[in-house]
Amino acid sequence: MKHHTVDIGGLKVGAGFPLRIMSVINLSPESFYRDSIVDNSEQLVKVINGMEQDGADIIDVGGASTAPRGVYGTPEVSVEAELERVTSNLECIVRNTKLPVSIDTVRSEVAEAAIDIGVSLVNDVSGLTRNKRMAKLVADRDVPIVLMADCGNSCQTLKASFRSVKRSIKTALSVGIPQERIIIDPGIGFGKPSEVDFEIIRELDRFCSLGHPVLVGLSRKAFIGDLLNQPDPSMRLTGTIAATSIAVANGADLIRTHDVEEGKIAGKVGKALRRLSAKSESRESAE
The answer to whether the CB of 113 falls within 8 A of the CB of 137 is no
Indicate which residue of 20, 85, 107, 221 is catalytic.
221
Question: How many whole angstroms separate alpha carbon 79 and alpha carbon 71?
Answer: 22
Length of the chain equals 287
Indicate which residue of 256, 271, 275, 283 is catalytic.
256
Question: How many whole angstroms separate alpha carbon 247 and alpha carbon 54?
Answer: 20
Neighbouring C-beta atoms of residue 137, cutoff 10 Å:
18
221 catalytic? Reply is yes
- Please, what sign has the CA dihedral across residues 150, 156, 158, 160? negative
Question: How many whole angstroms separate alpha carbon 172 and alpha carbon 126?
Answer: 12
The answer to whether the CB of 183 falls within 8 A of the CB of 144 is yes
Question: How many whole angstroms separate alpha carbon 265 and alpha carbon 275?
Answer: 16
Residue type, 197: D
Q: Which long-range contacts (CB under 8 A, 24 or more apart) does 203-208 make?
A: 203/158, 203/250, 204/247, 204/250, 204/251, 204/252, 205/250, 205/251, 206/158, 206/162, 207/162, 207/165, 207/251, 208/250, 208/251
Q: Which residues are catalytic?
A: 221, 256
